[in-house]
């Protein structure tokens, strides 16, 4: 059984998930929308949200190569963002996810 994304199916045995926290000027600069757009273009599923402390958190899952691309992008983000730190860790696969969502 595979993990279905918009563009391709990733075998669950090879799929990974990551949880990422991004610090800096990352709210009010389209960081969430840009993350969702980038992740969707890479065929990833997951979510992104603002935290009350000013950070952005996202969880993404899919092929390791695409996750690495999103993680590398997250260090810069959209043009108006000023990323100071990015922390990431492996996360549990959520088989219920079928798209990349911007959470409130």
The torsion angles phi and psi of 63, rounded to 5 degrees, stand at -70, 140
Strand partners, 17: 61
Element at 77 (helix H, strand E): none
Query: Smallest Cα–Cα separation from 48: which of 84, 73, 65?
Result: 73
**Catalytic site residues?**
32, 50
Residue count of the chain? 104
């Amino acid at each position: 059984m595979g993990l279905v994304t918009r563009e391709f199916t990733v075998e669950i045995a090879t799929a990974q998930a990551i949880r990422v926290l991004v610090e800096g000027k990352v709210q009010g600069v389209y960081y969430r929308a840009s993350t969702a757009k980038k992740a969707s273009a890479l065929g990833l599923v997951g979510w992104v949200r603002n935290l009350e402390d000013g950070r952005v958190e996202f969880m993404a899952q899919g092929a390791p190569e695409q996750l690495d691309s999103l993680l590398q992008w997250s260090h810069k983000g959209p043009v108006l963002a000023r990323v100071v730190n990015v922390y990431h860790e492996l996360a549990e696969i959520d088989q219920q996810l079928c798209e990349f969502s911007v959470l409130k």
